[in-house]
Amino acid sequence: MKAKTFNRSIQILIVTMLVIMAFFRGPHSQWLIIGAVGIWALFLLTTFAITGSKSIKEKIAKLIANRPKRPKRKAKTVIVPEIADPPEKILLRHVNCRITDKLKSAYPDATWEWCEETPVKLAAKGGTGRIKTAETGEYNYADVTIDQYARIKFNMMKIVSLDDAVASEGAAAPAKTEAEPVVDVEVWYDLMGRDVLQELITELNAHGHSFLIIKEPGEICVMDGEGNETKLEELENLPKKKWWSVLAKVFCDNGLKTSVEEDRIILSW
């Protein structure tokens, strides 16, 4: 509040009090004087509040105006790398890597190539296509199936010309070398076990059997009511006994009840 306003209000208050004392006597003059002082005090408080709030607002405005401005941050530009190859080709490359991994799990030195003219369509839409393999034991081809869930399954096969087949009839079978131990049991089941077991189980179930026996060398047998065992088929490269616990889980995942004993695996359905 300005000093000039305050001095003027004092002068008005004094003049008012003199007028009251001159024209009014008794207790009425005291109440009038108290009222005049109260009005004067209220006027001072109101004036001080108004001028004080204006002063505070002015100071805040000055602080905001004098605040150093932050430099504007430049928006970061995100560079999206351009993919030169189309998505179908990238998907085919991914499928090729998965096929290679599965083959090398069973045959470490395996190589392969597509026999299909448009393997891109197979990778994108699924289906069955043929590949030619090398360093895969007695097999030289495989049918690769990609199902609707993008799972890859193999059917290994051996294709020879008629002349080679006739010539091989008279030739002595070469001695079999000991197979490398199978590390990926699930791949072994996809490549060598699934088709043999599914065909046998379908046939046995039709004849009333509810279980079969797999012995350590890979022999598949059934047992009659008198406890006699009959050999039906032989699984190639059956994983050794140390892998049977893992193999049992693979059988269970494919809907077969499994019991592992010391020298045999019993599959029931």
Which is higher by pLDDT, 70 or 12?
12
Q: Are 1 and 44 in contact (CB under 8 A)?
A: yes
Give the model's pLDDT for residue 125. Answer: 86
Tens-place pLDDT, residues 23-60: 776 666 777 778 878 887 888 788 777 766 666 666 66
Cα separation, 99 vs 10, whole angstroms: 103
Indicate the length of the chain as a whole number: 269
Q: State the residue for tokens 């009511």.
A: 225
* CA 197 vs CA 5, 57, 191, 224, 256: distances in Å: 110, 90, 12, 19, 10
The 8 Å CB, 24+ separation contacts for 176-182 are 179/137, 179/237, 180/108, 181/239, 181/240, 182/106, 182/237, 182/239, 182/240, 182/243
Asked which of 11-20, 150-159, 185-194 is least confident by mean pLDDT, the reply is 11-20
- Residue 68: pLDDT over 80: no
Cα separation, 187 vs 123, whole angstroms: 20
- Give the pLDDT band of residue 143 (cuts 50, 70, 90): very high
Which is higher by pLDDT, 164 or 220?
220
Q: Let me know the angle formed at the C-alpha of 97 by 155 and 161, rounded to the nearest 5 degrees.
A: 40
